[in-house]
Amino acid sequence: MTGADAIGHHAAMTDGSRPLGDRGWLGLRRPDEAADRWELTVRPRICGRTGYLHGGCSLAAATTAMEQATGRPLIWATAQYLSRAAQDEVVSYAVTVGSAGNRVSQVSAVASVGDRVVARFLAACGQRPGANAHRWGEPPVVPGPDESGGYELTWEPDGSFHRTVELRVAGFDRDRGTAAFWVRMPDGVHETSAGIAMLGDYVPAGFRLVLSETEKPASSLDNTVRITGLEPSEWLLLDIRLGTVTDGAAHGDLRAWTQSGLLVGMASQSFMFSV
């Protein structure tokens, strides 16, 4: 199945053009069709290196649930992480539509395992088809995916999220604090808004590469993702810009580009280095 086919296979189309989020790859299900609540069981391929639910995958699940609840595609979303969800635990995403205008819905969600709150989310969903579109900036000039080397993950568990994503180092600059990766996911998931939400969590990988600390663990404090357009592309280029590391806390941002040079998403993240 090609990436474009995967989007059509997994997602419902809106009345404008953009597909809604991919429930199938995440394993997101709706136990009660009458309630705005979705859930997933934490499996290895949506876990990070510590064996807990990957923050980007949790954000992707929340945004997918919010897209489904509103019937509108994601514009932006942000996550605050409060605790962890371990493998085989069931995470529930309760969605509240705060307001639904003619074009935009303001939405929130809470992820929990039983009575334990795992994360909170805010988002806006909507679109105005036919509106003028302008994009500024250009992707960095780097070698293509075939000319880029792999990113070493020596102690990443087999079957984890980072083993599922194909990641190649396109380049980095220690003085400027920049890093670039080519990425792709099975079934073209990286071409969806949920996929971009997952990949927005690669800001720490840029820090590790620039700081020559590829094995240093990190814990996300927040993720914010903005969807600027979707287009089929075998690979996405993640252009990561480091901000600061102060008292163990790091801040940076990311832009996601298609191979044709289209900006499809932006993300920012704060996290703590664990050691």
10, 59, 177, 232, 236 from 172: Cα distances, Å:
35, 27, 8, 26, 16
The predicted pLDDT at position 4 comes to 32
Q: What class has domain 145-273? A: mainly beta
Query: What percentage of the chain carries pLDDT values higher than 90?
Result: 68
Q: Name the CATH code of domain 3-126 (choices 2.40.160.210, 2.102.10.10, 3.40.50.150, 2.60.120.10).
A: 2.40.160.210
List alpha helices for the chain, DSSP H.
Answer: 3-10, 23-26, 55-70, 161-164, 193-199, 203-210
Residue 13 has pLDDT above 80, yes or no: no
The predicted pLDDT at position 190 comes to 94
Residue 267 has pLDDT above 60, yes or no: yes
The predicted pLDDT at position 242 comes to 95
pLDDT confidence band for 127 (50 / 70 / 90): confident
Q: Per-residue pLDDT tens for 183-229?
A: 999 989 999 999 999 999 999 999 988 988 766 777 889 999 999 98
pLDDT confidence band for 273 (50 / 70 / 90): confident
Mean pLDDT of 229-249: 93
The predicted pLDDT at position 215 comes to 65
Q: Per-residue pLDDT tens for 44-92?
A: 999 988 889 999 999 999 999 999 999 999 999 999 999 999 999 999 9
145-273 matches 3-126 in CATH topology? yes
Question: Which residue from 174, 198, 194, 186 is spatially nearest to 254, judged by alpha carbons?
Answer: 198
Residue 264 has pLDDT above 50, yes or no: yes
- Single pTM value for the model: 0.89
Strands 166-173, 218-227: pairing is unpaired
Question: Which residue from 11, 32, 13 is spatially nearest to 23, judged by alpha carbons?
Answer: 11
List CB contacts of 219: < 8 A, sequence separation 6 or more: 81, 271, 272, 274
Exposure letters 10-28 (e unless 16+ CB within 10 A, then b):
bbeebeeebbbbbbebbeb
Name which residue leads in pLDDT, 135 or 170: 170
The predicted pLDDT at position 206 comes to 92
Question: Structural domain boundaries of the chain?
Answer: 3-126, 145-273
